[in-house]
Amino acid sequence: MVGFRDRPAGSESKLRTFHDGFRILGLIVRLFAHER
């Protein structure tokens, strides 16, 4: 993952991971929609 080392461990790291995951999920959904 990008930008993982410059972030201190803690709740903020978890929040950022959730945000990144959501972005990736949206990307996959868009890819699926485009494939149809």
Indicate whether 29 pLDDT > 90: yes
The reported pTM is: 0.47
Cβ partners under 8 Å of residue 16, min gap 6 = 7
Per-residue pLDDT reduced to its tens digit, 1-23: 555 556 566 656 666 788 888 99
Residue 14 tokens read as 């978890």
Residue 23's pLDDT is 93
Give CA 7 to chain center in angstroms: 15
